[in-house]
């Protein structure tokens, strides 16, 4: 609760700014304010408003939601003569109006309407979806910006009617707002927009592509990023997964993409990476490895709903890591090795999503976790790193484990060892072969890790561990 209250106070203080700079005690002047932090802050504060934990904060939460919703209205384009009509200025001073910003704003404005009854918020959401997003989907082909109608959304348009023509996977996030508008209005238009979007994006999504570059400005093909192209942005796919899961549940497409990205674990270059915490900022989908040295923290929150049902052990590990390092998880990105921030910028978007996770989280309940909580003990985990033949370990992490003597039948005793030098551990946390654990002051090396699943859900991990001889 203390962590969640700290996060709440942070959002209340600094939304709708993108970043807070702790070293200077000021908001980031370069990024300023924008629709993304405003919208995601509303999403969190709206749920906090109804939470018993924050009963005493209701008046302040109400006023903050109203202030943020009014800010969104202030940056919405109201010039009917502009192609950006109904869209939202991407940040202070920007001339760009992105499709994804409207997609983020619509659910937030509808929440503000539900809270206050103020029709202006409902009208703004309808304008963003029924006019701006409709035009971003249809106008490019009508104006020759796209060579034909695809069903995807052009990435952005400027206030001077210049187009950014590419269509990005992240715009599957449109499903959330369009579904809500359709349910509220009964207009078939929104379902048609959804169907067209799904018909276009699905193949690129399942193929782990980031964007499509249409003719005549592009090459008429799907692309990843990097040189050569082999990388994806984890947050784009997290947002797409969130919306598609919300729309169609644990479908074959959602399962395929989630498991494809989540199965990419540590590598020789980044041995401390653990996808259970959250996902790397860049992922190499060709060589199947992380492609940077840091976690994109926001993905821990975005993936909550999927993990809560279909990957609860990863969720538990993620939450435990957050609670052990709450300040680190206020930054937009931290390094795998020691959770130090990539930049000294605390993110309102990140904190809003992590706060939603903590507000809704309930510990995993299964036969094994009940055993773990009743009979487990605290051990210290050190993730192994190897660079140029030199072995080191990441910062320590406290995890719960059931530790038992190894059975004689499962031990191949190596020279210099005895049977009591081996133990077997059972955990829900992410562990990897050759990591180090410390149990009752004794250091052990983790052997090959086995995972046990039931009905496609990971139940626990186990490994035979051998005492390290110094």
Listed residue (329, 425, 322) closest to 381, CA to CA:
425
Q: Are 336 and 272 in contact (CB under 8 A)?
A: yes
Q: Are 330 and 347 in contact (CB under 8 A)?
A: yes
Tokens of 208: 């782990």
pLDDT of residue 199: 97
Q: Are 83 and 135 in contact (CB under 8 A)?
A: yes
CA distance 281 to 294: 6
CA distance 164 to 73: 23
Region of 217 please: left (phi>0), alpha (psi -120 to 50) or beta: alpha
Residues 6+ apart with CB under 8 A from 370: none
* Straight-line distance from the first to the last Cα atom of the chain, in angstroms, rounded to the nearest whole number: 42
pLDDT of residue 266: 86
The number of beta carbons lying within 10 Å of the beta carbon of residue 80 is 8
**pLDDT, tens only, 102-126:** 999 999 999 999 999 999 999 999 9
pLDDT of residue 375: 86
**DSSP code at position 38:** H
User: CB-side exposure of 210: number of CA atoms within 13 Å?
Assistant: 17
Which of the four pLDDT bands, split at 50, 70 and 90, describes residue 448?
Answer: very high
CATH class belonging to 368-467: mainly beta
pLDDT at 268 over 90: no
CA distance 101 to 34: 9
CA distance 102 to 187: 19
Q: Are 100 and 168 in contact (CB under 8 A)?
A: yes
For 96, list phi and psi in degrees, rounded to 5.
-100, 140
**pLDDT, tens only, 285-322:** 999 999 999 999 999 999 999 998 888 878 988 998 99
- What is the percentage of the chain residues whose pLDDT exceeds 70? 97
Listed residue (377, 379, 411, 381) closest to 395, CA to CA:
381
Domain spans, the chain: 2-364, 368-467
Dihedral angle of Cα 11, 17, 18, 20, to the nearest 10 degrees = -70
The pTM assigned to this predicted structure is 0.83
Classify 289 as helix, strand or coil. strand
Which of the four pLDDT bands, split at 50, 70 and 90, describes residue 358?
Answer: very high
pLDDT at 403 over 70: yes
Which of the four pLDDT bands, split at 50, 70 and 90, describes residue 395?
Answer: low
Q: Are 166 and 155 in contact (CB under 8 A)?
A: yes
Which of the four pLDDT bands, split at 50, 70 and 90, describes residue 456?
Answer: low
Listed residue (229, 106, 109, 235) closest to 168, CA to CA:
235
Q: Average pLDDT, whole number, for the chain?
A: 93
Residues 6+ apart with CB under 8 A from 333: 281, 294, 295, 296, 297, 341, 342, 343
**pLDDT, tens only, 328-353:** 999 999 999 999 999 999 999 999 99
**pLDDT, tens only, 133-167:** 999 999 999 999 999 999 999 999 999 999 999 99
Q: Specify the fold of 2-364.
A: Glycosyltransferase (1.50.10)
């Amino acid at each position: 609760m203390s962590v969640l209250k700290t996060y709440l106070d942070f959002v209340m203080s600094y939304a709708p700014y993108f970043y807070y700079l702790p070293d200077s005690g000021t908001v980031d002047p370069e990024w300023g304010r924008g629709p993304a932090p405003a919208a995601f802050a509303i999403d969190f504060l709206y749920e906090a408003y109804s939470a018993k934990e924050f009963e005493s904060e209701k008046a302040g939460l109400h006023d903050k939601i109203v202030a943020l919703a009014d800010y969104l209205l202030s940056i919405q384009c109201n010039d009917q003569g502009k192609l950006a009509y109904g869209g939202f200025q991407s940040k202070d001073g920007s001339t760009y109006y992105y499709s994804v910003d409207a997609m983020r704003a619509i659910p937030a404005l509808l929440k503000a309407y539900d809270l206050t009854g103020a029709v202006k918020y409902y009208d703004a959401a309808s304008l963003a979806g029924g006019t701006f997003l409709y035009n971003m989907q249809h106008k490019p082909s009508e104006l020759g910006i796209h060579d034909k109608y695809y069903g995807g959304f052009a990435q952005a348009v400027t206030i001077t009617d210049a187009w950014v023509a590419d269509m990005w996977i992240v715009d599957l996030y449109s499903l959330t707002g369009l579904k809500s508008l359709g349910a509220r209005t009964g207009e078939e238009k929104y379902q048609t927009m959804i169907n067209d979007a799904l018909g276009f994006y699905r193949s690129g999504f399942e193929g782990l592509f980031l964007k499509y570059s249409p003719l005549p400005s592009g090459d008429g093909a799907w692309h990843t990023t990097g040189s050569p192209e082999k990388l994806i942005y984890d947050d784009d796919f997290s947002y797409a997964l969130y919306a598609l899961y919300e729309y169609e549940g644990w479908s074959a497409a959602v399962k395929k993409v989630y498991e494809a990205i989540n199965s990419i674990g540590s590598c020789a270059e980044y041995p401390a990476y653990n996808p259970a915490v959250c996902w790397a900022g860049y992922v190499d989908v060709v060589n199947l490895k992380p492609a940077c040295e840091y976690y994109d923290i926001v993905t821990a929150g975005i993936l909550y709903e999927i993990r809560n049902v279909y990957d609860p052990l990863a969720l538990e590990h993620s939450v435990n890591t957050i609670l052990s390092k709450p300040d680190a998880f206020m930054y937009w990105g931290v390094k795998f090795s020691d959770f130090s921030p990539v930049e000294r910028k605390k993110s309102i978007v990140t904190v809003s999503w992590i706060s939603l996770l903590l507000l809704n989280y309930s510990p995993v309940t299964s036969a094994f976790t009940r055993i773990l909580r009743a009979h487990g003990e605290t051990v210290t985990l050190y993730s192994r790193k190897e660079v140029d033949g030199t072995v080191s370990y990441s910062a320590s992490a406290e995890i719960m484990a059931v530790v038992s003597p190894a059975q004689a039948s499962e031990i191949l005793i190596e020279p210099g060892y005895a049977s009591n030098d081996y133990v077997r551990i059972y955990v829900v946390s992410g562990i990897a072969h050759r990591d180090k654990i410390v149990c009752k002051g004794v250091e052990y090396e983790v052997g090959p890790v086995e995972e046990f699943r039931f009905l496609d859900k990971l139940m626990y991990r186990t490994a035979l561990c051998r005492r390290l001889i110094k």
